[in-house]
Amino acid sequence: MDKSLQIVITGASGFVAKNLRKFLSEKNVQLISISRKNFKSFKNETKIISKNYDQKSILPKIKNSDAIIHLIGIGKESVKTDYESINVQLTQKIVNLSKKAKIKKFVYTSGLGVSDVTSIGYFISKLKAEKSVIDSKLNYTIFRPSYIVGKDDLFTKYLKKSIKKNKIVIPGSGEFSIQPIYIEDVTKLIFQSIIDKKFNNKTLDLVGPEIISFEKYIQLFIQNKKIKLHHIDIEDAYHLAINDSKFDYGVDDLNILVGNFVGDHKKLRNLSQMNFKSVKELLKTGALL
């Protein structure tokens, strides 16, 4: 059954996409991967390079696919790129394309903390994107991830770079709750959501089995290395985030930390019947270094 599956992936060069494409390729899924830039393809993979995901170049190639996994998203705005155009409008465009192409399943990665009462622009854009997926009447699974961690995610890369510089910046108290989930569990779950009907038309928190503080996570990451943890007052952190795009954290990175978002791991475990990796154990063994 796996052999005959044809799955489309958007944002193919991103962190989740790269890991997922490798996993699905090893499962003999026929992949159609779309990115703005060229990339190295895996076995059974068709590449589409498209800057603006225009219908003409994409629609004929993705027709009647079994699923689309929409992994395009931004978590920081700039003059050049904003939430409305990427998280909202581009998602709506991909939803429309998927309907026209008669794709059977839509998987979307939103964000942990998205809710009807949120006041954060990032979460509002993800909520609007979720709504366009749900309103499409396509069969969907929406995941709301906490930090997805692996060897090559943005935060891990930041920590590795900071270790080299012997300075890790921690905003405020560092006592923010996070519920990280390992990338290999994420790729398995996304695949399961496509082949297992129990995931149909559900919105699920994509969270790991442990809730830990942000600072504790960093301490476990650096193991016994003597690295300077530089606590910076939260007001100063926001000031720098607002005024300096090169600062270690963006405004919404800080909002997400201060928001202390945790989710329903039990629901995910019960539905998937999966054994999740302990991120704490992975950190202790240096598996993410």
Ligand X SMILES: NC(=O)c1ccc[n+]([C@@H]2O[C@H](COP(=O)([O-])OP(=O)(O)OC[C@H]3O[C@@H](n4cnc5c(N)ncnc54)[C@H](OP(=O)(O)O)[C@@H]3O)[C@@H](O)[C@H]2O)c1
Binding site for ligand X (CB under 6 A): 11-17, 35-37, 71-75, 81, 86, 109, 111, 145, 147-148, 153
Compute the distance between CA of residue 31 and CA of residue 131 in angstroms, rounded to an integer: 26
Of 37 and 226, nearer to ligand X (C-beta) is 37
Least CB distance from residue 235 to ligand X, whole Å? Answer: 26
The gap from C-alpha 29 to its chain's centroid, in whole angstroms, comes to 21
Of 10 and 30, nearer to ligand X (C-beta) is 10
Least CB distance from residue 69 to ligand X, whole Å? Answer: 10
Of 37 and 197, nearer to ligand X (C-beta) is 37
Least CB distance from residue 274 to ligand X, whole Å? Answer: 18
Burial class (CB in 10 A: 0-12, 13-18, 19+), 43: exposed
Compute the distance between CA of residue 200 and CA of residue 259 in angstroms, rounded to an integer: 29
Of 49 and 242, nearer to ligand X (C-beta) is 49
Of 73 and 171, nearer to ligand X (C-beta) is 73
Of 29 and 71, nearer to ligand X (C-beta) is 71
Least CB distance from residue 251 to ligand X, whole Å? Answer: 15
Report the alpha-carbon angle 224-225-226, nearest 5: 115
| AA letter at 169 | V
Least CB distance from residue 146 to ligand X, whole Å? Answer: 7
Least CB distance from residue 283 to ligand X, whole Å? Answer: 15
Are 19 and 149 in contact by the 8 Å Cβ rule? The answer is no
Compute the distance between CA of residue 41 and CA of residue 32 in angstroms, rounded to an integer: 10
Are 231 and 170 in contact by the 8 Å Cβ rule? The answer is yes
The gap from C-alpha 236 to its chain's centroid, in whole angstroms, comes to 28
Compute the distance between CA of residue 128 and CA of residue 120 in angstroms, rounded to an integer: 12
Least CB distance from residue 181 to ligand X, whole Å? Answer: 8
Of 231 and 289, nearer to ligand X (C-beta) is 289
Compute the distance between CA of residue 49 and CA of residue 259 in angstroms, rounded to an integer: 37
Of 81 and 96, nearer to ligand X (C-beta) is 81
The token duo for 89 is: 């409008």
First to last CA, the chain: 36
The gap from C-alpha 274 to its chain's centroid, in whole angstroms, comes to 19
Least CB distance from residue 206 to ligand X, whole Å? Answer: 8
Compute the distance between CA of residue 76 and CA of residue 252 in angstroms, rounded to an integer: 7
Q: What are the helix (H) ranges across 27-107?
A: 55-62, 83, 91-100
